[in-house]
Structure 1
Amino acid sequence: MSDASGASRKKSLPAWLIVIAALVLLGVVVWRVDQSPTTDDAYVYADTINVVPEVNGKIIEMPVRDNQPVKQGDLLFRIDPRPYQDALNQARARLVTLDKQIGLTQRTVNAQQYNADSVKAAVERSRAQAAQAADTLHRMEPLLAPGYTSAEDVDRARTAQRAAQAELSAAMLQAQQASAAVSGVDALVAQRAEVEAQIAIAELNLEYTEVRAPFDGRVASLRTTVGQFASALKPVFTLIDTRHWYVVANFRETDLKGVRAGMPATVYLTSDTGKRFGGTIDSISYGVLPDDGGVVLDGLPRVARSINWVHVSQRFPVKIAVRDPDPNLFRVGTSAVATLRRDATVQDTAR
């Protein structure tokens, strides 16, 4: 009887071992998933810009083609520069003409100033003559009563004094007229500043006829060629910034505990699952649009009158900056798989 029970225990022992091993394995898997959450709801992302001209005109040169890589400073396309070159030449010619006009006007102003100075000197001379005539009259008038001078001499002195005073008044009026006639070149100088500003704008517009790459990138969505009229501020094509590549992974809110910017991550693309790429968390989204409930309507939140027996966790985008991406594999929108490492520290990422 004892032999039979012992044999039974021996047969059940492997089953217990299998159960324990399965539980241990399950615990390791749960711990691993908890420490390194993974999602296949991810895609490749890169910053893009719309390449738009600053001026209007016909495209006369376009050395790039669709999906072509370009370097910073490469010519993307050139707009016909002739109208803007003509505008620049016209503004420069106007500046030359205005400078000559300022020179001629300045000479006229100088002549007016010389005339005003001459009239001022005449005023001083007339003032001196009037003062001398007044002094002479004042000396002669006391001599008339004793008979030391004649009445005729006094009348001549009085007439000379009046004539000198009248001449002084006339000279002063001429001086005022001469001073008022001095014009100046202030208005022309102000016009010159305006023309210089027009020249600067014309030079800038001429420079804008050449559109160059602001960074290393790749041309995308090019649907035009030489001969197309380009409108200012209207996109011609898109330029992808290939200097920095990201993977945007949507993780459940329950997976984001302890996750923060700077932590390491591993990603791979579904186009080539054999290559792994390291990266760091650039940022974590702080807002998504809910699918139902919580919508503000007329100042009050509207909550759907339904009960979900199974609660689906919200997903938040986690932006991962990829290190050493393969330029032949990374394309905007490529599906990816991302794994976070919550057990690592930011210092581990730096190393």
Structure 2
Amino acid sequence: MHYPLYRPRRLRKSEEFRRMIRETRLSVDDLVSPLFVVPGKNVKKPISSMPGNFQMSTDFIVEEVRKIKGLGIPAVLLFGIPDSKDESASGAFAKDGIIQTAVAEIKNAVPDIIVITDVCLCEYTSHGHCGMIRGTEVDNDPSIDILAETGLSHAVAGADMVAPSAMMDGQVFAIRKALDQNGYAGTPIMAYSAKYASCFYGPFREAAESAPQFGDRKTYQMDPPNSNEAMREIALDIEEGADIIMVKPALPYLDVIQRAKDMFDLPVAAYNVSGEFSMIKAAAKLGWIDGDRAMMEAVTAIKRAGADIIITYFAPEIARFLQDQ
């Protein structure tokens, strides 16, 4: 096809034409809305680096979930911030822990929304790492035992799906085994399979109060230059029993999302993380970009790369934008 026989502009000349041949369509069904839950009542604390996001007590969380459900968003992802932390992350798997309590209250009030729980230990350990510490090292195998206990406790509380994010080797298998042996074989696992040691998590660490107290997470989260390794990580999680695979962050790793979609026959989730969200918000506030257009362009790119599920702090705004359209 050569000019002048083929003129691509013919099909761009009106919004109706553009809509008719649009290749990628973002839907509210693609979205998961992350939330941060804290102990207490009547707590709604703004997260300064994430405009429009809050640490909320369960009473406010339940109301927020009602609003999210009303927008047509099918799922929320819960992160818990306990009132105390220790070296053994005991708050992560406590029967009356913050996530366990929040899940039960949400499912009682809004039973028809999918509640996904983040299964990690960094919010619950006094040192801020995602596993148990031996000396100055994160000890893998004791960590997966705690992660399995935590994932099971979330399922017992009523979680519809658990999402292990600690990047410990064998964590998916340990959680799958614990779920299956205790009557929760029907609870799916969304694995943070390719989770990179990224600088884009900065605002989240304020929100979740989970910054490591020493060192960093480069020994267990992935090295950003690596793509083949991500495929190996994903393959391992699938073998261990993952039902959904995830790439995190999203925008700097669109190539990894596309490879995962091409290589594996499972739903692919992508996490549009806090730093990606906050950069757009900051630039929009300064008047450097159109915030709504940047939001939609960024999230549509994640969808175009192959993501079936997009976890994003923009979820309520995107839902409202789509309704207005």
* Fold match (TM-score > 0.5): no
* Class of the TM-score when normalised by the shorter of the 2 chains: under 0.3
More strand by share: 1
Q: TM-score, normalised by structure 1?
A: 0.19
Greater Rg over alpha carbons, structure: 1
Q: TM-score, normalised by structure 2?
A: 0.20
